[in-house]
Chain A
Amino acid sequence: MAYVSAAYLLAALLFLAYVLSLRSRQRMISDMIEALRQREGRA
């Protein structure tokens, strides 16, 4: 049972890591868009 839970947990963790990296990149993109908007607003 320990082996099975370890395997499933590891797989879940890998998925989680990927999704988290996806999210952090998404946040960076929205920050960039926000910065662009502000710059355009000033110009």
Chain B
Amino acid sequence: MSVIRLLVAKDLRLEWRTREILTTMGLLALLLVIVLGAVKSGPGGAPAAMWVTYAFAATLGFTRAFAIEQDHLTGLLMAPIDRSAVFAAKALTNWVGLTVVQLFSLPLFGALFTEAIWGRLGALLLPLALGGVGLAAAGTLFGGLIVQARLREALLPILMLPVALPLVIAAVGATAGIVDGLPLPAIGPQLKLMFLFDILFVTAGLLLFDFVVEE
């Protein structure tokens, strides 16, 4: 556990000094919100625009997350740490980054799409967190897979988006339900699906990451 905390602290400190990932991810998210809002604003479009933005921002940010390790990755892997700890730490850092982007862009969705977001901020945190964890877990697993492939910036979206599509569909459904003012039990199936997706990909990451990064 302390190993994971150490690794996360290292990644966050690195990010704090360079602010590479957050800047690119945040700018892309901002841009997507503006573009989607200009093309089609209105309350109905908010949930879909939200999750398209998050999914694309995630694919951009997560490719960078391993790219910054490139020179040190062997060092990190040679350190006497469990590989699943490396996965957990990377996924956690990615999740933190994505959450920051999510929270910063929420007001924009409120301003450009629908005011209803303000009234239900608390309930919205649930799908945001569940979706964020799923995107971070799947993105970290696949980002690790292709870290040494050619054209990895192009590869991650084509790999991750279809696999994460059930999560995105459920997240859009859950968000739409909350924005429309439905009670939480009404979006139970969507939340359950997201939860299952999270469990599946966190487990798969912890178990399979060992094979992924092995030399």
Touch between A and B in complex, CB under 8 Å? no
> A-contacting residues of B (Cβ < 8 Å)?
none
Seen from chain A, the residues whose Cβ lies within 8 Å of a Cβ on chain B are none
